[in-house]
Structure 1
Amino acid sequence: MADRLPHPLRADAQDNRERILEVARDLFATEGLNVPMREIARRAEVGPATLYRRFPTKQTLVTEAFAEQRRACHAIVDEGLADPDPWHGFRRVVERTCELHAHSLGFADAFMSAYPEAMDFAADREYTLNAIAELAHRAKATGHLRPDFLLDDLIIMLMAHRGIHTSSATTRLAASRRYASLVIQAFQAASPTHSAETSRELRRHVL
């Protein structure tokens, strides 16, 4: 029975593993998922054999490197669903999802099906989209989310968000927040009161 128990890694092996993950996170964040495995090994100062012994495929490395982001994604939608104000919860999900993607191009790529064979990400994506669909249904019922909103609209929004490129992480985050704000305005249902007031104002100026 004892032979079946996993053996803990030696201290040096554990150090190598953590260094590989740290380097992978940094490179995936700034350069996306096309970074060669050999480049990750070189930056982590380990041999390719060591890298592949710990992470046999890039999919394995990507899944483990973004474990924290995957948990954060679940937390974002769970908190949105728990919000007693569905529209506020929906807005926060959009804002925080954009921010999460802005911090790492690689995570955005993995989430948006760049690795469809990575089952962990497929499950995360399905969980997130199902939760947002439920939240959107509730927000529509309050009259704040436009009635013609489709889940595909959010997917298109995230695909467009992936196109934000800047040399500075700070600038990218600021652009992401601006983008999220504009998207939320586009998703918001028109206020009947505001529309009536706007019409009266236009008539006053025209007539």
Structure 2
Amino acid sequence: MSPRDPHPEAGADAAVSAGHAKRSDAERNRGRIIAAARTVFGRDGLNASMASVARETGVGIATLFRHFPRKEDLLAAVFADRMKAYAQATDAALADPDPWHGFTGYIETVCAMQAADRGFADILTMNFPGVPELEKHHARAYEGFLELIGRAKDSGQLREDFTSRDLVLLLMANAGVLSATADAAPDAWRRLVAWMIQSFQAPARGPLPDPPEDAALYEAMRRASHDVTTPETGKRR
């Protein structure tokens, strides 16, 4: 035992306690940031800046970036649970013994999820290939929706020219209506969705223009996600 350090165990215990305290503080800060981001993105949409999230949290911007170096990282933390619920909604719809009711119920559920959270309304119309946590749920939901389409068409109740791209267009339209009406007419989206569901039903009332190509629609969704994650150097973030 060194005369300069008569109680080395005490020093080690203090260091361990200090380490636990720092981790606890970091976890609390992370939780506060995520909660604040839910509020900001839900209120202002995904174009809200990282600085506005820091202000809502009450932390410095440097603290925020220590926890979430990219905006994509923060989006993943905020919306992973909602994206999981989005994917799980296909499971519930596929369990419905009525193919048409399952199909329309899924559309209504997803559009209602958009209406409940403006940020999530935007997320559903974007692609984040650099955020695996979001993309895996998106892919699962897509596969489930393809099955819903097949069942509804086999039942003779869904028009044959409906494609999965039509859901993307509906979600984009619904996001636009939600953004435009906001508190002024918060239930306006329900009329849009009802009109669209009726237009999907067989027999078709007439031919439709060709849907956008998959690659073109993917590029539109990719650009939308790029717009909200580009650093604040004269562009939106």
Q: Structure 2 length normalisation: TM-score?
A: 0.70
1:180 aligned residue: 193
Q: 107-116 or 128-137: which moved more?
A: 107-116
Task: Write the distance in 2 (CA, Å) between the matches of 1:119 and 1:46.
Answer: 27
* Cα distance in 1, alignment partners of residues 182 and 150 from structure 2: 38
**1:166 equivalent in alignment to 2:172:** no
Instruction: Give the counterpart letter for 2:149 in structure 1.
Output: A
State the identity %: 41
CA contact (8 A) 1:110 1:121 kept: no
Q: Which amino acid aligns with 2:54?
A: A
Select the residue among 106, 123, 126 that pairs with 2:119. 106
Aligned-pair distance for 1:149? Answer: 1.1
Name the SS of the counterpart of 1:112 in structure 2: coil
SS at match of 1:50: helix
For 2:86 and 2:143, locate their aligned partners in 1 and report how far apart those are by CA, in whole Å: 13
Look up the match of 2:51: 38
Distance 1:87 1:66, change over 3 A: same
Q: CA RMSD in A?
A: 2.1
Higher mean displacement: 8-17 or 52-61: 8-17
Q: Which of 52, 58, 67 is equivalent to 2:80?
A: 67
Contact 1:140 1:147 in 2 (8 A): yes
Deviations 1:1-46 (Å, cap 9, x if unpaired)? xxxxxx7974443332222111111111122212221221111101
Aligned counterparts of 2:146 and 2:21: Cα–Cα separation in 1: 42
Q: Secondary structure at the match of 1:41?
A: helix
Q: Report deviation, 1:89.
A: 0.5
Is residue 109 of structure 2 the alignment partner of residue 96 of structure 1?
A: yes
- Tell whether the 8 Å contact from 1:143 to 1:189 is kept in structure 2 after alignment: yes
Residue 166 of structure 1 deviates from its aligned partner by 2.4
Which of 137, 141, 151 is matched with 1:138 structurally?
151
Per-residue deviation, residues 143-201 of structure 1 (Å, max 9, x unmatched): 111122111111111111111122318x43x122222211111111139xxxxxxxxxx
Gaps of 5+ in 1: 1-6, 192-207
Aligned length: 183
The answer to whether the Cα contact below 8 Å between 1:113 and 1:122 also exists between their aligned partners in 2 is no
Report the AA paired with residue 182 of structure 2.
S
User: Which residue in the other structure is 2:37 paired with?
Assistant: 24
Amino acid at match of 2:117: S
Over alpha carbons, which structure has the higher Rg?
2
Aligned partners of 1:30 and 1:106 also within 8 Å: yes
SS in 2 for 1:125: helix
Asked if 1 retains the 8 angstrom alpha-carbon contact of 2:40 and 2:56, the reply is no
Unaligned 5+ runs, structure 2: 1-19, 205-237
- Bigger mean CA offset, 31-40 vs 84-93: 31-40
C-alpha distance in structure 1 between counterparts of 2:156 and 2:22, whole Å: 55
Note if contact 2:90-2:141 (Cα within 8 Å) is conserved in structure 1: yes
Distance 2:93 2:172 in 1: 21
